[in-house]
Amino acid sequence: MSSVLILSLAACTKKEQGGTDGGISKGRLYEDSYSPSGRYSEYVEAVKSTGSKVYFDFDSNRLSDEAKILLNELALYMNENQGRRFMIEGHCDIRGEQSYNIALGYNRASAVVEYLKNRGIDGSRLVAISRGKEEPEFLGSTPEAHAKNRRARIIELRPEEN
């Protein structure tokens, strides 16, 4: 079984820094809270233990600036742990046709894969799949439930799954 990585965008303390990094203005939010070892931010510690998610706008596979910041943190961890492989699952909300949502979910997962590859991660370590609208995390038809179901989930595979 894979260890599932779950991330909350609000789980980390942030601070602003100057300069630019990979097309993202460093005037935006950056991690400022580190684990006791001082090696990784709380975000990466959460990724390693329970999982990671990034969220998408309606009918979109475009990564937000916040998602890019989180994926930058993940890329640092991935680059330092070359033997690890990751599965990226694309998910959609319950609206729309199944075939459309399968394609959109795959496009969301692929957007994460491409971003990580552009950050130096070998594509052979990344697997993109779509879950479409088949595995909603939140049930219901509220705007909040829809927003939480439009996501890509990054799962670190255990060594025996590599």
Which of left, alpha, beta for 23 (phi over 0: left; psi -120 to 50: alpha)? Answer: left
Report how far residue 34's alpha carbon sits from residue 118's, in angstroms, rounded to the nearest whole number: 25
Q: How confident is residue 42, by pLDDT bands cut at 50, 70 and 90?
A: low
Q: How many domains, the chain?
A: 1
- Which of 149, 150, 155, 148 lies closest to 129, judged by CA? 155
Place of tokens 């609000």: 10
CATH number at residue 103: 3.30.1330.60
Residue 51 or 19, more confident: 51
Give the global pTM: 0.72
pLDDT tens-digit series, residues 49-66: 556 899 999 999 999 999
Average pLDDT for 15-29? 32
Domain range for 86 is 3-161
Q: What's the sign of the alpha-carbon dihedral 37, 43, 45, 48?
A: negative
pLDDT at 21: 36
Which pLDDT value is given to residue 158? Answer: 74
What single-letter amino acid sits at 21? D
Q: What is the pLDDT of residue 49?
A: 57
